[in-house]
Amino acid sequence: MNMRKLQVIAALLAVALGASGFAASADEMKTYEITVKDKVFTPNQITVKAGEPFRIKLKNANPMPVELESSKLGFEKVAAGFSDILVNVRAQAPGTYTFFDDFHPKETTGQVVVQ
């Protein structure tokens, strides 16, 4: 059992190390800055290129935390009061995608237009 456990752990480590070797430099990705203040995203719409990964930098100008979320774009991340967060977004097919503050999902929304 112990031997087998060790083998499993070794295999997992090998996979993890192998995968990290592929880590690309994310600095080349285009970053779009959005500010959230008083339940409003500014800008509340950004346009990005289809098929290219990108980043969103959210500046939270409120004292309250917000949670930037979009299930279709695949992110869900909390920004504490008066702080910034970054999210990586995978390459997307053309279309319009909604993102929102999960703490005010109806009021605080924005869109990513992929074309």
C-beta of 43: minimal distance to other proteins in Å? 21
Residue in the structure block whose two tokens are 């930098």? 57
> Which residue in the set 2, 3, 17, 106 belongs to the binding site for other proteins (CB under 8 A)?
106
Q: Does 32 bind other proteins (CB under 8 A)?
A: no
Strand partners, 34: 58
Q: Does 40 bind other proteins (CB under 8 A)?
A: no
Nearer to other proteins, 46 or 55 (CB): 55
Buried b (16+ CB within 10 A) or exposed e, 33-65: ebebeeeebeeeebebeeeebbebebbbbbeee
Sign of CA dihedral 76, 79, 67, 41: negative
> Which residue in the set 74, 94, 96, 113 belongs to the binding site for other proteins (CB under 8 A)?
74
Positions in the binding site for other proteins (CB under 8 A): 1, 4, 8, 19-20, 22-24, 26, 53, 63-67, 71-72, 74-75, 77-81, 83-88, 90-93, 102-106
